[in-house]
Structure 1
Amino acid sequence: MPVISQKGREMPASPIRKLTPYADRAKEEGKTVYHLNIGQPDIETPEIMLDAIRNIDFKIWAYTPSEGTLAYRKKLSEYYNKLGYGINPQDILVTNGGSEAITIAMQACLNTDEEIIIPEPFYANYSGFAHTAGIIIKPILSHIENGFALPAISAFESLITEKTKAIAICNPNNPTGYLYSREELGALRDLCIKHDLFLLVDEAYREFCYGDRSFISPLHLDGFDQHVVILDTVSKRYSACGARLGCIITKNRAVWETALKFAQARLSPPAVAQLAATAAVDTPQSYFDAVKREYTARRDVLVDGLNRITGVHCPLPGGAFYVLAQFPIDDSDRFCQWMLEDFAYENQTVMMAPATGFYSHEQEGKKEIRLAYVLNINDLKKALICIEKGLATYPGRV
C-alpha cells in the first residue's frame, strides 16, 4: 500500500473542529448544543453584500486577475484609507480567504526552515500554515495573569537567531481577545527595524474593539512601511465566513511581487465573492455600530457569567469576540469532550475549544478554554448555566 507523506502525517489537526464528532453524536441523541467553539458569528451579513450576489448579470463566470479585480482593490483602498493606512490598489493582493493570505505571506517572506516568532496562545491554524510553508514557529508565552499582554521585548530579543526572519501577531487577538496598544506596536516596530525583521499582522478582527480603546495598525506608525505585511479577511467584518475572501496589504514591492507569483500559481481569487465584497465596502456605519453594541453586550454577559462561577477566571478582552478563561479542571481536552459525550443539563450542553491547541508548548493550556461569544445573549446565558452545572459534576474538577 502506498504511504502518505511525512508532511501529511505531521500536519496538525484543528483543535477547534476535532470535537465535532462528539457534538454531532450529542445532537443525534437529541441534545441542544451551544456552539461556543468556533468564530462563526450569528450576525446577519449586510444586505448590500447579498444584493450584489442576487443582481449578478454576467454571462461567463470567468477567471479574475490573480491579484484580484481592480474594481475591488480600488474599493478596498478606499476602506483602508479611511482608517489612515495611506495605500493604493497596487499595495493589495486579494486572496482566497485570510488563510491563504497568511500562507502566501509566510512563503513570500521566509525560506524553508527559517523562524517566525509568535506570541502564544495563538490562532491554532498558524501551526498548519507554518507547516505548509516549511517554516518554524518560535512561540513566546503570554500570560492570563496580565490579560495576555504582549511579552517583554527582551523576551522576543532572546529568541532571535540568524534564522529569525519575522514576527507575527493577531490584533485584536484570537484566541485571547487582547488588543495591542500603540506603545506595544511601537516597541515591536523598533525591534523589527533593529533586527531587520518582517512584522506579519493578522487584522481579521479590526472592527471589534470595545470600550474607549482604539485600534492601532502598524501602518499607522512612521518609518515601518517596508517591514509590515497586513493580513485581512471579509469573514468577520461582514459576517461572511463562507465568502472565502481575504487580502495581503504591503507597501514593500518585493513582498507584493513575490506574493503575486504564489497567487498566480493558484490562478485567481473567487469572482462572485469579489463582486459581493466590492459592494460591501459601502455598508453603512450604522451596521458596524449595531454589531459592536451587540458584541459588547455579549462579551460583558459571558465574562461576568464566567467569573461568577467558582474557580473560573476570565480576563476582560479588549477586542475580537473570544475569551480565554482558566477553569478548575484537570485537562481542558478531557473536560470539553466530557461536556459533549457525558453531560447534559435539561438536555443541553456546550461545545468549547480546549486551549491546548492554541499553544505550541504541550504543557500549556490544560486548564484554559476558548469560548466565542457568537451566540445571542439568551443562548449565552443558557450555555453559562450548562458550564456551571457541568463543572459541579465533572469528575476531573480540581
Structure 2
Amino acid sequence: MPNISNKGKAMPQSPIRKLVPFAENAYKQGKTVYHLNIGQPDIKTPQIALDAVKVHSLDILAYTRSEGSEGYRTKIADYYAKNDIHVKHDDIIVTTGGSEALLFAFGSIMDTDDEIIIPEPFYANYNGFSIASGVNVVPVISKIEDNFALPPIEEFEKLITPKTKAILICNPGNPTGYLYSKEEIKKLATIVKKHDLFLIADEVYREFAYDGATHYSIMQEDGLEQHAIMIDSVSKRYSMCGARIGCLVSKNKDVIQTALKFAQARLSPPTLAQIASEAALQTPQSYFDEVIDEYVDRRNTLIEELQKIEGVKVAKPKGAFYCIAELPINDADVFAQWLLEKFDINDETVMVAPAAGFYSTPGVGLNQIRIAYVLNKESLIKAVNIIKEALKVYKD
C-alpha cells in the first residue's frame, strides 16, 4: 500500500473543527449546541455586498488577474489610507482568504527548515501553514497572568538563530483578543531591523479594538518598509467568512513579485467574491460602530459570567472576539468532547475549542479553552451557565 507523506502525518487537526462529529451526534440526539468554538460572527453581512453579487452584469464568470482586479486593489488602498496606512494598489495581492496570504508569505520568504518566531498561544492554523511550508515554528510564550501581553524582547532575542527569517504576530490576537500597543509594535520593529528579519502581522481584526484603544499597524511604522508584511481579510470585518477573500500587503517589491508567482500558480482569486468584497468597502462607519458596541457588550457579559465560576481564570481581551479561559480541569480536549457526548441541561450543551491546539509547545494550555463570543448575550449567558454546571459534576 502506498504511504502517506510525513508532512501529511505531521499536519495537525484543527482544534476548532475536530470536535464537529461529536457536535453533529448531539444534534442528531435533538440537542441544542451553543457554538463558542469558532469565529463565525452572527452579525449580518452588509447588504451592499450581498446585493453586488445579486445584480452583477457578468456574461462570463471569468478569471481575474492573479493579483486581483486593479479596481478592487485600488479601493483597498483607499480604505487603508483612511486608516493612516499609505500603500499603492501594486503593494497588494488579493488572495483566497487570509490563509492563502499567509501561505504566500511563508513561501516567499522562507525555505525548508527555516524558523519563524511566534508569540503563543497563536491562531492554530499557523502550525499547519508552517508544516505545509516545511518551516519550523519557534514559540515565545505569553502568559494568561500577563493578559497575553508581548513577551520581553529579550525572550525573542534568545531564540534568534541563523535560520530565523521572521516574527509573526496576530493583532488583535486570535485566540487571546490581545491588542498590541504602539510601543510593543515599535519594540518588534527595532528587533527585526536589528537582525534583518521580516515582521508579519495578521491584522484581520483591525476594526475590533475596544475601550478607546486604537489599532497600530506595522504598515504605519517608519523604517519598516522592507521588513513588514501585512495579512488581511474581509472575513471578520464584514462578517463575510464564506467569501474567502484576503490580501497580502507589503512595500517590499521583492516580496510582492515573489508572492505573485505563487498567486499565478493558483490562477486567480474568486471573481464573485471580489465583487462582493469591493462593494463591502462602501460599508458606512455606522455599521462598525454598532458592531463594536455589540462585541464590547458581549465581551463584558462573557467575562462577568466566567468570573463567577470558582476556579476559572480568564484574560480580558482588548480586541477581536475571542478570549482564553483556564478551567479547573486537566485536559480540555477530553472535557470538550464530554460536554458534547455526556452533558446537557434541558437538551442544551456547548462546543468549545481546546486551547492546547493554539500552542506549539507540548503540554502547554492543556487546561485552557478558547471562547469566541460571536453569540448574542442571552446565548452567552446560557452557554457559560452550562460550563459552570458541567464543572460541578465533571471528573477528569
| TM-score over 0.5 for the pair | yes
Which 4+ stretches in 1 moved above 2 angstroms?
A: none
For the residues of structure 2 that align with 1:162 and 1:24, how far apart are their CA atoms?
47
Q: What secondary structure sits across from 1:102 in the alignment?
A: helix
Show structure 1 runs of 5+ residues with no match: none
Aligned equivalents of 1:342 and 1:77: distance in 2?
A: 51
Distance 1:224 1:153 in 2: 17
Residue 139 in structure 1 maps to residue 139 in structure 2:
yes
Instruction: Note the C-alpha offset of 1:219.
Output: 1.3
Determine the C-alpha separation between the residues in 2 that align with 1:346 and 1:362.
Answer: 37
Deviation of 1:220 (Å) = 1.4
1:168-195 deviations in Å (ceiling 9; x for gaps): 0000000000000011000000000000
1: CA distance between counterparts of 2:7 and 2:323?
32
Q: Distance in 2 between matches of 1:4 and 1:311?
A: 43
Q: Which amino acid aligns with 1:118?
A: I
Residue equivalent to 2:285:
285
* 2:313 aligned counterpart, secondary structure: coil
2:326 maps to a residue whose letter is Q
Q: Partner of 1:321 in structure 2?
A: 321
Aligned residues: 396
User: Aligned partners of 1:67, 1:377: CA distance in 2, in Å?
Assistant: 40
Q: TM-score, normalised by structure 2?
A: 0.99
Indicate the residue corresponding to 1:201 in structure 2. Answer: 201
Structure 1 residues 229-263: Cα deviation after superposition (integer angstroms, max 9, x where no partner): 00000000000000000000000000000000000
Give the Cα–Cα distance (whole angstroms) in 2 for the partners of residues 236 and 221 of structure 1. Answer: 24
Q: What is the distance in 1 between the residues matched to 2:121 and 2:334?
A: 19
Letter of the aligned partner of 2:204 in structure 1? Answer: A
Distance 1:6 1:262 in 2: 23
The amino acid that maps onto 1:290 is: E
1:2 is displaced (CA, Å) by 1.8
The separation in 2 between residues aligned to 1:317 and 1:9, in whole angstroms, is 34
> Normalised by the size of structure 1, how large is the TM-score?
0.99
* Matches of 2:332 and 2:12, distance apart in 1: 18
1:173 aligns with 2:173: yes
In structure 2, the residue matched to 1:80 is 80
Superposition pairs for residues 279-358 of structure 1, below 5 Å?
Answer: 279-358=279-358
The one-letter code sitting in structure 1 at the alignment partner of 2:290 is A
What is the DSSP-based 3-state SS (H/G/I as helix, E as strand, rest coil) of the residue aligned with 1:382? helix
Cα deviation for residue 11 of structure 1 reads 1.2
Structure 2 counterpart of 1:223, one-letter code: G
Question: Structure 1 CA distance, aligned partners of 2:330 and 2:9?
Answer: 28
1:190 matched to which residue of 2? 190
1:44-75 C-alpha deviation (Å, 9 max, x unpaired): 00001001001111101100000000010011
Q: CA deviation at 1:134?
A: 1.1
Q: SS at 2:229's partner residue?
A: strand
Determine the structure 2 residue equivalent to 1:56: 56
- 1:313 positional shift: 1.1
Counterparts of 1:231 and 1:243 in 2: how far apart (Å)?
Answer: 16
Give the aligned partner of residue 243 of structure 2.
Answer: 243
How far apart are the structure 1 equivalents of 2:8 and 2:188?
A: 34
Residue in structure 2 matched with residue 103 of structure 1 by the alignment? 103
Residue identity (%)? 56
Q: Give the aligned residue type for 2:62.
A: A
The amino acid of 1:303's aligned partner reads I
Question: Is the aligned partner of 1:359 residue 2:359?
Answer: yes
CA distance in 1, matches of 2:208, 2:274: 23
Q: In the TM superposition, what whole-angstrom CA distance separates every residue of 1:283-323 from its partner, at most 9, and x where no partner exists? A: 01010000001000000000110011111111210000001
